[in-house]
Amino acid sequence: MSLDIPFKLLLLFSSFSFTGVPAGATTAGLGSQHAQLLPYNNQRTSHFFNVKTFGAQADGLTDDTKVLFPSLSFSIQTAAYHLQYLAFLSAWNKACQATGEVDIMIPKGTYLVGPLKFAGPCENVSKIIVHMKGYLKATTNLFKYGDGAGWVEFRWIEGLTLTGGGTFDGQGAKAWPYNSCSTDFNCKLLPTVCFIHLAHQLCLQIVHVINNIFPQSFELAYKTDEEKVLFQQNVKFLAMNRTIVRGITSVNSKFFHMALVECKNFKGSKIKISAPADSPNTDGIHIQRSSGVYFSQSLIGTGDDCISIGQGNSQVAITSISCGPGHGISVGSLGRYKDEGDVSGLVVRDCTMIGTSNGIRIKTWANSPGRSAATNMTFENINMENVTNPIIIDQAYCPFASCTPMVNSPDNETTYTF
């Protein structure tokens, strides 16, 4: 069936069950190592860096990214985060300058930290393992983050593994009352700096060079009014390759719990994500402009989509995910902005939705300013219990009362198959 509506969609839905347990679901165990108990292995070249060695205080009170000059203006403080004696970033910088395989250890304990930016490239490092055993608490002082900054960010890194059983606590309850994104049309849900004004790859190269000279400057120079975000993701991965995230917990994020942007070859498993059912825009995992992404064997309960597939993704596999509470697994919303990338090669299989408002949802905007396509998407063996809307295909999506009348774009078409 071909309709004159905003997107080209080719979907395959099969083996849906609204009660019971997934038939034939498989799991594969992936272990993790305790950072402090790693044995010395003389068969490899490795360097170990412990954040406590660099002054981190696991007392839950000391801000471990606090600058030496608290009387400086906010803008100078933001730059000083990168220049002064920052326990976590000092450990990272030393590790990034090492050679061979590198281990960074965050021992057990509660650490109060402001925004952290772990940036590459680490030219001579073949592999970085971050053993996150601790409990990281985000500062609730929103002025420390700046306009649109995230909390913990990894960017431009090859071969990162984040593991260890630790927790990222965004302490989002302090920010949720101020979140108007559910009613404000101009609230951008995910900060992206390189797909509106410049050729995409060229933009990434430019901001990479600028960032190496003036840390964090690209966050300010390339962010438009359309792209501002006032709340922070717990963990963001930007332009990463060969990344593994295993055995990590994220709770009470101020915004998205985990965001992938411009990532390739990303594997996540045994991840736990939790936030209250009424917490706004706390998507569990958001994926955008990424390829070769695989998430499995994870538990997600939050106030928005458990997993959201944004624009520009290809070859994404979601398997053995338990979702609830939340809004289910969604594709989109797509088509809000011009020149968005297509979505293709999505597989969602052997997942369970329990007590969610939606099961599988596809959201595309009417009045789309550009032409996009979403094709080759398979949803298989999805089990739903007490789900209000098991399957939704919304091709005139707009969550705001101020939306213009829904008019389908004549430049796009939608095709779907059950």
Structure tokens at 32: 């993790």
CB–CB of 370/335 below 8 Å?
A: yes
Block residue for tokens 């498989």 = 26
Contact call for residues 271 and 295 (beta carbons, < 8 A): yes
Is 209 within the bounds of a domain? no
The confidence band for 354, taking pLDDT boundaries of 50, 70 and 90, is very high
Per the domain annotation, does 32 fall within a domain?
A: no
Between the CA of residue 294 and those of 11, 141, 347, 348, 354, what are the distances in Å? 19, 34, 10, 10, 22
CATH of the domain at 402: 2.160.20.10
Number of domains into which the chain is organized: 1
* pLDDT-based confidence at residue 268 (cuts at 50, 70, 90): very high
Q: How many CB atoms lie within 10 A of CB 234?
A: 30
Cα(255)–Cα(244) distance, integer angstroms? 22
pLDDT exceeding 90 applies to what percent of the chain? Answer: 48
User: Could you count the other beta carbons within 10 Å of the beta carbon of residue 80?
Assistant: 17
Judge whether residue 389 has pLDDT over 90: yes
Q: Tell which wins on pLDDT, 41 or 196.
A: 41
Q: Is residue 217 part of a domain?
A: no
Does pLDDT of 227 surpass 70? Answer: no
Compute how many other C-beta atoms are within 10 angstroms of the C-beta atom of residue 71: 6
User: Closest by alpha carbon to 307, among 276, 348, 340?
Assistant: 348
Do the Cβ atoms of 112 and 137 come closer than 8 Å?
Answer: yes
Q: What are phi and psi of 201, to 5 degrees?
A: -65, -40
pTM: 0.77
pLDDT of residue 59: 74
The answer to whether residue 276 sits within a structural domain is: yes
Q: Is the pLDDT of residue 74 over 60?
A: no
- Structural domain includes residue 379: yes
pLDDT at 228 over 70: no
The active-site residue, picked from 131, 257, 286, 327, is: 327
109 falls within a domain: yes
Query: What is the amino acid identity at position 293?
Result: V
Whole-number average pLDDT of the chain: 76
328 in a structural domain: yes
Evaluate whether 103 touches 131 at the Cβ level (below 8 Å): yes
Structure confidence at residue 156 (pLDDT)? 96
Q: Which of 143-157, 299-313, 372-386 has the highest average model confidence (pLDDT)? A: 299-313
- Whether 286 is a known active-site residue: answer no
Q: Does the residue 15 lie in any domain?
A: yes
Containing domain of residue 348, as a range?
A: 2-24+41-191+228-415
Q: What is the pLDDT of residue 105?
A: 96
